Structure formats: structure tokens, C-alpha cells
């Protein structure tokens, strides 16, 4: 009984499980306006699949992939005029699934609501791409082995707020999470994955269950491998990263995710130690990657990977 209706409030029973036990998952993707005025999505099937993976982890029902994709395409088709056309802008889409069983006892979920909302968004870097400072989080952890790190569920973000609030108050853009088990390995940034160029090789933390499998991350890896670059997904210890900062082996670092696409890292702070990356400048690989991925998203470059999906 899906419908496309004006934006508004949702009212569910006050005992709905989502309000008490955070039984919900969500996704985030964008619709882009191309130079000829058309509208396209970027790899929406990946979001649809990730949504089902998140649902599985949270014991929420699986949804039909074709239905989700059709819902996204129909919704954007109706709301097409909201897709802005200024450089760097897009229409952010937020599908979400919430459990609304009015039941305080801990029983399996039976009743869910699936919604998509949208909002035009400006460029993440309105004054052009700019390196950001990142604080390595020493106290809180985001995820643990066997936990929900790989799922896009609200609880992961709620538990991360305290650290990001503290980092923001100190002038940092995001935190860099360290693994929650050994407190030794780099995992990801607040809302983005991370990549490092160390001695010419690209190193990114492997998907070990506590890192969110980013679609931008996946795309960056495919693009760089296509360029013939060596990209390694592996454990990267904080010690190794800081050593690479000290010796200058760390040439470039960036975050990647739907919001900013690529955010160059200009500074890494660990306690009172501050490490400047690439003289706080945008590196060559970072820039090239940004231009390539955003070029495909906004239809400025040919989509040789077949990643974009036209909205009719
Ligand atoms: N890591 C976290 C914790 C995120 O919230 C996001 C954003 O969705 C990402 C990584 C990047 O994922 P994607 O590239 O699919 O936006």
C-alpha cells in the first residue's frame, strides 16, 4: 500500500519498539542533476542491498530489492523539481525502516514502516574542497566484533554522538574510530570511511564487521584499481599510521562517504600530538579521485562503470 504523500509528521504508538529499543535502520544516497537537466542516482542497488544486510543484523524483515529500488525511482521522479542544479548540490534521500509493534516486552518485530524522505543539500565544501582536521578518539568506541558496526542502524550513531560532540567542541571535523576490541586498529571516521596513501600504496581498513561498508569506499577502490594503483584492504594499526605520519611515509589521507564524497584529511590529532598531512594541502590522488567520482555522479564524465541510474 505504498504511497507518495506530502512531507509531514509520523505518529506511532508510544510503546512502539523503535522508541525504546532502537529497532530501526536507514540508508543515505543522493539524486544528482546532470548538465542536460536529467536526474540520476548513484549505485542505488548498493544502498538497497546494504539496507537488507542491516535489516538482517537487527532482526528486521527483509524487503524486496526491486520494490525498494522502484520506490526510490518513483519517489525521485515525482519530486524531481527538488533536485537542485548548482555545482556540488543534490537531493539527499533517506530511506528508513522502523519497527512499530506496540510492545515493551522483548519480542521479535512483526510490524514495520518503510519510508523515504528527501531534502535538497548544498555542497559539503561550499568554498571548494578543503582539508579537514580529524581527532583520533581515545575513550569511546563505535563498534565491537559481533556488534552492529556494519549495519546502518540508529544506535551506532547515537552512541557516537558524545565523541563527535567533544571533537567538534575542540574544532575537529570528525573523530577517527579505533577498534573496540584491541583498541589498536584504525576503523573509520564518524560518518565516512578512511583511506591513506602510504609510500604510494593506498591502505584502507578491511571490512571486519565493525566498519560500515561504504558505497563511496567501494567505488573509490574500484576507480583506483582501474587506474592501476595498489589498493590494500587490511588491518592498519594506529601505531603504524602515526609512525607513517612521523616519517613522512603518509603522503595523503582522506575520508570518503556520500555526504562529502571525498574529504581530504589535513591534520590528525592524537591527544596533544598533532600531525599535519601533506602540508594541509589536497593531495594528487585525493583530487583525482574526487574529480572522477563526483564527475560520474553529476554526469560530467562518462560513466564507464555503469553506476548511475536515470530517473525517468
Ligand atoms: N561510515 C559510516 C559510519 C557512515 O555513516 C557512512 C555514511 O553512510 C559511511 C561510512 C560511508 O558510506 P557511503 O559511502 O555508503 O555513504
pLDDT tens digit string along 123-155?
Answer: 988 888 999 999 999 999 999 999 999 999 999
User: Can you give the pTM of this predicted structure?
Assistant: 0.97
Asked whether 299 lines ligand 1 (CB < 6 A), one says no
Asked whether 217 lines ligand 1 (CB < 6 A), one says yes
Pocket test residue of 212, 218, 219, 256 for ligand 1, highest count of atoms within 8 A of CB? 212
pLDDT at 125: 86
pLDDT at 124: 87
Q: Using the mean position of ligand 1's atoms as its centre, give its distance from the Cα of residue 190 in Å.
A: 8
Q: Which atom of ligand 1 is nearest to the CA of 160?
A: 3
Q: Which atom of ligand 1 is nearest to the CA of 50?
A: 15
Q: Using the mean position of ligand 1's atoms as its centre, give its distance from the Cα of residue 170 in Å.
A: 23
- Among protein residues, the one whose CA lies closest to atom 3 of ligand 1: 191
- Among protein residues, the one whose CA lies closest to atom 1 of ligand 1: 192
Three-state secondary structure readout of 191-247:
CCEEEEEECCEEEEECCCCCCCCCHHHHHHHHHHHHCCCCEEEECCEHHHHHHHHHH
Asked whether 192 lines ligand 1 (CB < 6 A), one says yes
Asked whether 188 lines ligand 1 (CB < 6 A), one says yes
Q: Using the mean position of ligand 1's atoms as its centre, give its distance from the Cα of residue 157 in Å.
A: 11
Task: Name the nearest CA neighbour of 197 among 231, 247, 167.
Answer: 231
Q: How far is CA 140 from the centre of its chain?
A: 20
Asked whether 54 lines ligand 1 (CB < 6 A), one says no
Q: Using the mean position of ligand 1's atoms as its centre, give its distance from the Cα of residue 5 in Å.
A: 28
> How high is the mean pLDDT in each 10-residue block of the chain (312 residues)?
95 97 98 98 98 98 97 98 96 98 92 97 89 97 96 97 97 96 97 97 97 98 98 98 98 97 97 97 98 98 98 96
- Among protein residues, the one whose CA lies closest to atom 9 of ligand 1: 192
Task: Name the nearest CA neighbour of 130 among 258, 310, 294, 265.
Answer: 265
Asked whether 210 lines ligand 1 (CB < 6 A), one says no
Asked whether 28 lines ligand 1 (CB < 6 A), one says yes
The answer for residues whose C-beta is within 8 angstroms of residue 171's C-beta and 6 or more apart is 133
Task: Give me the half-sphere count of Cα atoms (radius 13 Å) on the Cβ side of residue 254.
Answer: 27
Amino acid at each position: 500500500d505504498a504511497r507518495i504523500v506530502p512531507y509531514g509528521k509520523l505518529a506511532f504508538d508510544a510503546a512502539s519498539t523503535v522508541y525504546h529499543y532502537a529497532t530501526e535502520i536507514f540508508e543515505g544516497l543522493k539524486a544528482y542533476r546532470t548538465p542536460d537537466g536529467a536526474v540520476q542516482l548513484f549505485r542505488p542497488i548498493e544502498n538497497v542491498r546494504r539496507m537488507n544486510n542491516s535489516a538482517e543484523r537487527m532482526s528486521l524483515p527483509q524487503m524486496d530489492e526491486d520494490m525498494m529500488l522502484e520506490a526510490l525511482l518513483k519517489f525521485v521522479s515525482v519530486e524531481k523539481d527538488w533536485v537542485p542544479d548548482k555545482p556540488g548540490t543534490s537531493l539527499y534521500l533517506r530511506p528508513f525502516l522502523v519497527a512499530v509493534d506496540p510492545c515493551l516486552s522483548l519480542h521479535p518485530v512483526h510490524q514495520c514502516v518503510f519510508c523515504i524522505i528527501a531534502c535538497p543539500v548544498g555542497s559539503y565544501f561550499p568554498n571548494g574542497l578543503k582539508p579537514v582536521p580529524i581527532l583520533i578518539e581515545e575513550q569511546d568506541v563505535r563498534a565491537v566484533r559481533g556488534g552492529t558496526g556494519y549495519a546502518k542502524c540508529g544506535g551506532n550513531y547515537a552512541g557516537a554522538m558524545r565523541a563527535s560532540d567533544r571533537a567538534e567542541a575542540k574544532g575537529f571535523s570528525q573523530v577517527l574510530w579505533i577498534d573496540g576490541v584491541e583498541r589498536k586498529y584504525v576503523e573509520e571516521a564518524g560518518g565516512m570511511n578512511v583511506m591513506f596513501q602510504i609510500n604510494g600504496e593506498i591502505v584502507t581498513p578491511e571490512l571486519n564487521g565493525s566498519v560500515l561498508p561504504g558505497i563511496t569506499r567501494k567505488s573509490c577502490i574500484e576507480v583506483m584499481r582501474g587506474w592501476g594503483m595498489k589498493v590494500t584492504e587490511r588491518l592498519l594499526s594506529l601505531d603504524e599510521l602515526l609512525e607513517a605520519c612521523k616519517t613522512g611515509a603518509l603522503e595523503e589521507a582522506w575520508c570518503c562517504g556520500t555526504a562529502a564524497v571525498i574529504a581530504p584529511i589535513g591534520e590528525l590529532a592524537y591527544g596533544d600530538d598533532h600531525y599535519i598531512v601533506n602540508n594541509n594541502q589536497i593531495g594528487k590522488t585525493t583530487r583525482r579521485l574526487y574529480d572522477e567520482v563526483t564527475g560520474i555522479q553529476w554526469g560530467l564524465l562518462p560513466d564507464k562503470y555503469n553506476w548511475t541510474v536515470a530517473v525517468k
